[in-house]
Amino acid sequence: MKNKSLTQYLVEQQRQEGVVSAELRLLIETVARACKAISHAVGKGALGGVLGSLDSENVQGEVQKKLDVLSNEILLDANEWGGHLAAMASEEMETIHLIPNRYPKGEYLLLFDPLDGSSNIDVNVSIGTIFSVLRAPADASGREIEERDFLQPGTRQVAAGYAVYGPQTMLVLTVGNGVVGFTLDRETGAWRLTHDDIRIPEQTAEFAINMSNMRHWEMPVRRYIHECLAGKEGPLGKNYNMRWVASMVADVHRILSRGGVFMYPRDERPSGKAGKLRLMYEANPMSFIVEQAGGVAIDGEHRILDIEPTALHQRVGVVLGSREEVERVQRYHREAQQN
């Protein structure tokens, strides 16, 4: 049977489930089109002159890669004029991006990490784009959108997704009605539904963490990883495998495909306490997807989606994936507090 297109899927969600408005459908299709353009740029690599770094740094103080900036521009240009957005925010921009006055405004706010896993760009390893969609607050109508309008907990997201640029280009999406995956047909340029109702297995024996930071992790995470490393002879009674791509998109995609636990924990140093990953455009969209696929996502102790954001570029600890393992880490945090 022919695989459904992204448009067909969204129209069905609009008609049958009522979870997607016409404006949200346009928004998601526009983001998907932009991801297709980013995928083309990524695919050209050195032939397109897109590899390497620029002299600039982003708001996080990280050196910007050419593809970071290009992907950011592709997403801004694609989403400015359609009339579906009130404003955008990006990892690559210090402050929010208002829709220019020459274009009509819509009711949604779009946040994105245009190219996640930048350190993998030049070495031809999977990278991705992450996005999150919120509604502009009702009291924002008739006035200019401000940064505080974006500071909503992840539970308010109406859609979230990522594109992974790997051996295949895929778009994984939730509109709050489960998780689905589309594969880009490179011959026709269409997104085709290939992964219906993605579910994360509850149990796993695979973890993903940057082991080089072990000395900085908070104690409950150290305890958990020590137990994983102890294998069959240890308290967990099974041998674990480890994977770390260093692109959150690729690591989370593997976990959605075959289970596992992904961790970028808070650390013990005062300077690093909050973690590395960004709440609004990395942790929140991924947590929404993971929960919709039956998994769990916490900052160590608390559900990530319940966090009340205080800043656009806020960082957060992340432990997400298969239910049993994530709940174990959470339990270790509780036990550490009781002692």
Ligand X SMILES: O=P(O)(O)OC[C@H]1O[C@](O)(COP(=O)(O)O)[C@@H](O)[C@@H]1O
Residue 122 in the binding site for ligand X (CB under 6 A): no
How many C-alpha atoms does 164 have within 13 Å on its Cβ side?
23
Residue 248 in the binding site for ligand X (CB under 6 A): yes
Q: Which residues are annotated as a binding site for Mg(2+)?
A: 91, 113, 115-116, 282
Phi, psi dihedral angles at 69 (to 5 degrees) = -70, -45
Of 254, 275, 265, the C-alpha closest to 204 is 254
Residue 275 in the binding site for ligand X (CB under 6 A): no
Closest approach, Cβ 77 to ligand X, in A, equals 20
Q: Looking at beta carbons, which residue is closest to ligand X? A: 248
Give the whole-angstrom CA distance, residue 334 versus residue 339. Answer: 9
* Binding-site member from 56, 95, 119, 241 for ligand X (CB under 6 A): 119
Residue 267 in the binding site for ligand X (CB under 6 A): no
**Between residue 187 and residue 226, which ones bind ligand X under the rule CB under 6 A?**
210
Residue 10 in the binding site for ligand X (CB under 6 A): no
Size of the site for ligand X (CB under 6 A): 12
Give the whole-angstrom CA distance, residue 248 versus residue 254. Answer: 10
- Tell how strand 127-135 and strand 63-65 pair up: unpaired
- Tell how strand 261-264 and strand 206-208 pair up: parallel
Residue 260 in the binding site for ligand X (CB under 6 A): no
Closest approach, Cβ 96 to ligand X, in A, equals 18
Residue 107 in the binding site for ligand X (CB under 6 A): no
Of 173, 180, 93, 91, the C-alpha closest to 133 is 173
Of 112, 116, 127, 111, the C-alpha closest to 62 is 116
Nearer to ligand X, 131 or 264 (CB): 264
Give the whole-angstrom CA distance, residue 290 versus residue 318. Answer: 12
Residue 247 in the binding site for ligand X (CB under 6 A): yes
Q: What amino acid occupies position 339?
A: N
* Binding-site member from 117, 201, 259, 260 for ligand X (CB under 6 A): 117
Nearer to ligand X, 114 or 154 (CB): 114
Give the whole-angstrom CA distance, residue 298 versus residue 279. Answer: 11
Q: Which stretch binds ligand X (CB under 6 A): 36-44, 49-57, 114-122, 220-228?
A: 114-122
Is the separation of the CB atoms in 129 and 38 below 8 Å?
Answer: yes
Residue 62 in the binding site for ligand X (CB under 6 A): yes
What residues line the site for ligand X (CB under 6 A)? 62, 91, 113, 116-119, 210, 246-248, 264
